[in-house]
Amino acid sequence: MRYISTRGQAPALNFEDVLLAGLATDGGLYVPENLPRFTQEEIASWAGLPYHELAFRVMRPFVTGSIPDADFKKILEETYGVFSHNAIAPLRQLNGNEWVMELFHGPTLAFKDFALQLLGRLLDYVLQKRGERVVIVGATSGDTGSAAIEGCKHCENVDIFILHPHNRVSEVQRRQMTTIFGDNIHNIAIEGNFDDCQEMVKASFADQSFLKGTRLVAVNSINWARIMAQIVYYFHAALQLGGPARSVSFSVPTGNFGDIFAGYLARNMGLPINQLIVATNRNDILHRFMSGNQYVKETLHATLSPSMDIMVSSNFERLLFDLHGRNGAAIAGLMDSFRQGGGFSVEPERWTEARKLFDSLAVDDAQTCETIAEVFEQSGELLDPHTAIGVRAARECRRSLDIPMVILGTAHPVKFPEAVEKAGVGKALELPAHLSDLFERDERCTVLPNDLKAVQAFVSQHGNRGKPL
């Protein structure tokens, strides 16, 4: 499989190189040159497969030529073997024909484990083969950091540096990162906000001289491998609900448009999906596009669903690329005008095309809490605030009651106690068994000033398993 850039100017890469790449050299994102397409018979024959075997069938075309089948199977079995629920992504019924797909049974209790557990193992496999080492520098407002550290902690050839804003992530989230020790694991608390952290990561990709030749790898969802891993659970859910003979709809709490883009790909690979609902919080750039064809940057608001607090949605470029007939020059033009003026619209026929599949809703904090309380009362299920936004959007935007609606349950409620408390649900939150002593564990973290040079100096002094690069 070959991968091409959404801006049309960067060289095409194979899977191995795409795994190790960040942004393409032209500023674009990598996407498969040709998407595999499965027949209905083929998809139907996968019913009842264990999760890792389904994952093998869905993802195999993407890694062909880079990873032999037997090795890929083994990697997938190990990856999903660390999840604490036998079904890996169980469906729980909330209401008539309405389901939550629980994607929070991985080590860090958010859906990001599905991709980052795999990414760490894939990196180790490929780097071992090539005899190379890499450095990861990633920024997190919470969930990505812990999932990336958990995914990479056993990697022989990866040193991982995660920047989080000092005193601005929840205690559970911080401890999930800082209580994992290893000479290749480095937590850095930046005396600044999340945007400062993200700017430092971007600047480090732009000028990598501080790494003295060591390659820098991305762990956010611009990395293709993350999107790829998320396609699988759309197939998994549909197969349990009568698919592919019957079509299914999904509501996806979204920020960077990564998770929902995976659903869009599943549909283009042959899975009958009737409707995809973009569910945002008050940071609603995606909702404003879907409802009014305006993609315009606005100020960032802190919400009770912090993992979706974004101003611009990086993966949205991958959808725009398809909406523009995969014309890289057109996307480069759009992104240029976005950078200069802070917004754009697309031609009406392109927007109408998108609206055939996508609907959207923005849900504020009060409505989020209302939904947590409502669902708890109706069904006894305690939702995290991100998932609650998905449920709210599903209930308001649903096109057909006859078609099963699956809401992606993106995190365990214990990660977001503030929202659960505000919802007034009188249920104590308990950490799952493997994290029950989280608050007693020692922490390891370095606080650094909001200064790029200081951070880069730290990375180059510790980037080789704690030793200088």
Q: Which residues bind ligand PLP (CB under 6 A)?
A: 110, 112, 143, 221, 253-259, 307-308, 386, 410-411
Cβ at position 279, least distance to ligand PLP in Å? 9
Cβ at position 313, least distance to ligand PLP in Å? 7
Q: Considering only CA atoms, give the Rg of the chain.
A: 21
Separation CA 100–CA 337 (nearest Å): 39
Cβ at position 309, least distance to ligand PLP in Å? 10
Q: Are 368 and 251 in contact, with CB atoms under 8 Å apart?
A: no
List the structure tokens of 447.
């606080």
State which residue, 43 or 411, has the beta carbon closest to ligand PLP: 411
202 has catalytic annotation: no
State which residue, 408 or 448, has the beta carbon closest to ligand PLP: 408
Measured from each CB, the residue nearest to ligand PLP is 258
Element (H, E) at 374: helix 365-379
Cβ at position 422, least distance to ligand PLP in Å? 17
Q: Are 156 and 124 in contact, with CB atoms under 8 Å apart?
A: yes
Cis peptide before 244 (omega within 30 of 0): yes
Q: Are 282 and 392 in contact, with CB atoms under 8 Å apart?
A: no
State which residue, 157 or 367, has the beta carbon closest to ligand PLP: 367
From 74, 112, 427, 453, the catalytic residue: 112
State which residue, 5 or 176, has the beta carbon closest to ligand PLP: 176
Separation CA 125–CA 119 (nearest Å): 10
Cβ at position 400, least distance to ligand PLP in Å? 24
Query: What backbone torsions phi and psi does residue 456 show, to the nearest 5 degrees?
Result: -65, -35
∠ CA 112-137-181 to the nearest 5 degrees?
A: 75
**Residues 6 or more apart in contact with residue 306 via CB below 8 angstroms:** 141, 142, 170, 416
State which residue, 120 or 145, has the beta carbon closest to ligand PLP: 145
State which residue, 14 or 268, has the beta carbon closest to ligand PLP: 268
Separation CA 374–CA 164 (nearest Å): 33
Separation CA 133–CA 168 (nearest Å): 31
Cβ at position 311, least distance to ligand PLP in Å? 13
- Chain centroid to Cα 348, Å, comes to 29
Element (H, E) at 354: helix 348-355
Q: Hey, CA dihedral for 341, 31, 159, 152, is it positive or negative?
A: positive
Cβ at position 179, least distance to ligand PLP in Å? 19
Cβ at position 414, least distance to ligand PLP in Å? 12
Q: Are 7 and 28 in contact, with CB atoms under 8 Å apart?
A: yes
State which residue, 236 or 462, has the beta carbon closest to ligand PLP: 236
Among residues 211, 163, 156, the alpha carbon closest in space to that of 182 is found at 156
**Residues 6 or more apart in contact with residue 51 via CB below 8 angstroms:** 80, 87, 88, 89, 232, 236
Residues labelled as active-site residues: 112
